Each structure stands twice: as structure tokens, then as C-alpha cells.
Structure 1
Amino acid sequence: MRRAGAAEGRAGAGIILAHGRGGSAADILSLLDHAGLPEVAGFAPEAPGQSWWPTSFLAPMAAMQAPLEAGLAAMRKGVAAAEAEGIPRDRIWLGGFSQGACLALEAFARDGDGLAGVLAFSGGLVGTGDAGGAPDEVLYGAHAKRFDYAGRRDGAKVWISVHERDPHIPVKRAEDSAAVLRGMGADVRFEVYPGAGHAVMQMDISAMRGALNVAA
């Protein structure tokens, strides 16, 4: 677990950040500097081989289950590290980019009770199971998933962004993820950027700054 930002005992808020495929904990923690958040503590687990799972997050759950469980455990360790420093749970956020955004959303849906919220830059929920049916063109030829999450996320804030033509994250999955979390009571902002792309955008950085400045 890599740590950055405000010194222990001086952080007004914390965020657990998950990097994307080919990225690193150090890379994703640099978002704190870009957002100008000196009073926030950042914690970032490192994926083995720089990838949380070997295939697309759209793959059937049989291929996703084991690596997803390992990633979720890493995110729980990040939250525990923040809590061990005395950061209240309602001031702890999850976040990430690409694969890391998918992992952060899934961790929030499954384990996020009492957390402040989640910031997902180019991501969507992985899901809890396969929904069956035919492959879906709007899901890049993948099958639909089930989203059977327990509990509520009332009052939590959620930011999900995606490009219109993202090569890895179908807009449909990101849109469905926003709807699922709204159904759990979260206050969701869903942003679709025009054109093709797969990157952290300036609006993402602004959303992070706005969310965590309030929390701190």
C-alpha cells in the first residue's frame, strides 16, 4: 500500500485510489497533486503485474471472480489503513481510473456502507453475476450482468465519467452503473464526454477537488 498527501494525524479526509491497467499506485496518487488537495491523505494498493484482472471487466464472472475478490480485498485494506489513522469513515472516498474505476465502483457497491462516496473516471460496475441472454452490441459483444447489491448508500456522492466512444468502457455499462447506485440512494453525477477517448479529464480533476475539499 502506497501513501501520499497529508501527514498522518493531519488529514481532513482520505481517498483510496486504484490505478488502471499498466499503471501504478504512484501514478494514481499523483491525482492528489493535480487536484491541489494537500489536506487529503491518499492510499493506493498496487495490482500484481500492474493489472487488477487479465481480461475486460465485461468478461463472464467465472473469469472475473478470483481477481475481483483480490482487488476488493486490497481496497478494504486501504479503507482500514485510513481508519487506522483516525480518518472517520464518512470522510473516506474510493476512486480510480479505468480498471481502477471499475474496481472502486464495485468496492463501493459491495463494501461502501458509511463511506463518503466514489469517484470513477472511465469506469462501470463489474456486477455480481451473469444475467444470461445473447451478447449485446452496446456492451461491445459482451453479455449483460446482474447488479444484486445489498444495503443502501443514502447520502453518499458518486461521480462516474466516460467518453461517448470509449474503447474499454461502454457508455451503456457506465449509464447502468449510475442508475444502480441511484437506486441504492446515492447522489450520482454521470458525465459523458463527447467523441472518442479514455483518459482522466479536467472535469474529473475538478470533481475530485470539489468533493474532497468539502470533505477536508
Structure 2
Amino acid sequence: MANTTRGAGPHAGQPLVTAGAPLECARLAVVMIHGRGGGPEDMVGLADHLALPDLAVLAPQAAGRSWWPDSFLAPLEANEPGLSSGLDVISNLLEDLAERGFGPERVALVGFSQGACLAVEAAARLARPFHMVAALSGGLVGTGEADGAPRADLYDRPAKRFDYDGQLPDVPLLLGCHQQDPHIPLARVRESAQVLDAMGAAVDTLIIPGAGHGIIADEATWLRKHLNKA
């Protein structure tokens, strides 16, 4: 694998960090996507915590360590070209993995926060039979703007459309979020779960009581369980 990302826009040509098992002897490839202000090293640290030595980890870095400038709840145009560039980087990375013998059934997508939104959005738009997808504090970005005024339960942002064409039949998919997350409204998490369930994904929604924004032990346990599956 190259050590930089492929694609178009600002996130192309950025560092691509690899860790874990070499691809030639790995059971699965895990694409791990960092959050705003974070970096690949954060996701590699999570992978190390999972202690699964037969996984190949690939962690792309966003330009300026942010995949887009505004909240994922903002109108799509407010986050371009970052959003499209991030999705293109993920798509190209999946193509590169396929050329190395890792079809989607041998690939997992895992993201935290902004990276969680990018991971689950890529899964919905690409609609491939991934080994698993995990959005740790995240929800769908959406495909367009819906009619209506800003909503209090979306942190005073307007609603989105979720017009995805494909299916995710039986793909294990985790949506984790604190009940009072300052960045991810619970309403978007629940709406995302409904959309992804309708696409055929096997959705697990983990709502963490109280306020917070971070990865908890129950999410790591879910990851370990599903990454261990053949």
C-alpha cells in the first residue's frame, strides 16, 4: 500500500498510516477514521487496545486533521469540498484493498466522532457487504437538505434527506453515542438507525447514559466481538 491517500480534493495526498498485521497475512483490513482535531495515531491506539494481532489497520489522515469545517448537521454545501474528498479517499482505499484480495466482506470501517460520520456515510453511499461498520459517536450526514425549519432536537439545524440507493444486507453496524453528546444529537442517531435498518443492516444502537463524547468499554467490546468473527 502507498503511504499517502488517493483521491480528489484536499484529503488526497495525505498520510496513510498502517499498523497491525501486514496485508499479506492479515485476516481482515480495518479502515479506521479519526475525528476532528485527531489523527491516525488515535485510531491505531484504539486498534492496539483491541489486541487482535491478525488485523491490518489502515488509518488515513484528514488535511488539517478535520474532514470538513462545519458540523455534520450543517447543509452539505457548507462542508464541501471536504465531505466529497473524504468519501473519495475512502472509496479509493477500498479499491486498493480489493486489488490486494480484500473484498468488502474482509473490510471493516471504524470511525470516531467526525470520522464516525464519515465511516457510516461511506458505508451507506457505497452499499457494500462490509465485514462490519462502527460509528463511535456519529450518525449519517445525509444526501441533501429536507424541507422545514431548524429543529431543537437537531441542535437548531434543519433536517436532511437520506436517499441512499443500495442495501447493506445483514452488515453488523454499531451506532454508539452518549445520551447528551454535545456534537451528535440523539435524534440523528435514532434516525440514522432507522435508515440503516431499512437498508438491511444489522444495527446495534448503544446509547450511553448521561453527557459525554468519547469511546467507552462497551463499544470496544462490540468491536472486539465482531472483528473476531470469521
Task: Give me the TM-score of the superposition, normalised by structure 2.
Answer: 0.90
Checking the alignment, whether the CA contact within 8 Å between 1:32 and 1:38 is kept in structure 2 is no
Checking the alignment, whether the CA contact within 8 Å between 1:43 and 1:82 is kept in structure 2 is no
The size of the alignment, in residue pairs, is 215
Query: Shift of the alpha carbon at 1:114?
Result: 2.3
Query: Shift of the alpha carbon at 1:91?
Result: 1.5
Hey, what does 1:30 align to over in structure 2? Answer: 45
Which digits, 9 at most, give the CA deviation of each residue in 1:82-113, with x for residues without a partner?
32332232021111000000000100000131
Gaps in structure 2 of 5+ consecutive residues: 1-15
Hey, what does 1:47 align to over in structure 2? Answer: 62
1:196 maps to 2:211: yes
- Pick from 119, 125, 128: which aligns with 1:113? 128
Gaps in structure 1 of 5+ consecutive residues: none
Aligned-residue identity in percent: 45
> Residues 43 and 100 of structure 1: is their aligned pair in 2 closer, same or farther, counting only changes over 3 Å?
same
Checking the alignment, whether the CA contact within 8 Å between 2:126 and 2:166 is kept in structure 1 is no
Distance in 2 between residues matched to 1:87 and 1:39, nearest whole Å: 14
1:166 maps to 2:181: yes
Checking the alignment, whether the CA contact within 8 Å between 2:68 and 2:80 is kept in structure 1 is no
Higher strand content, 1 or 2: 1
Checking the alignment, whether the CA contact within 8 Å between 1:108 and 1:117 is kept in structure 2 is no
Hey, what does 1:179 align to over in structure 2? Answer: 194
Hey, what does 1:141 align to over in structure 2? Answer: 156
Query: Shift of the alpha carbon at 1:70?
Result: 0.4
Task: Give me the TM-score of the superposition, normalised by structure 1.
Answer: 0.96
Distance in 1 between residues matched to 2:130 and 2:207, nearest whole Å: 25
Distance in 1 between residues matched to 2:95 and 2:55, nearest whole Å: 16
Distance in 2 between residues matched to 1:145 and 1:65, nearest whole Å: 16
Q: Which runs of 4+ in 1 moved over 6 A?
A: none
Equivalent residue letter for 2:200: G
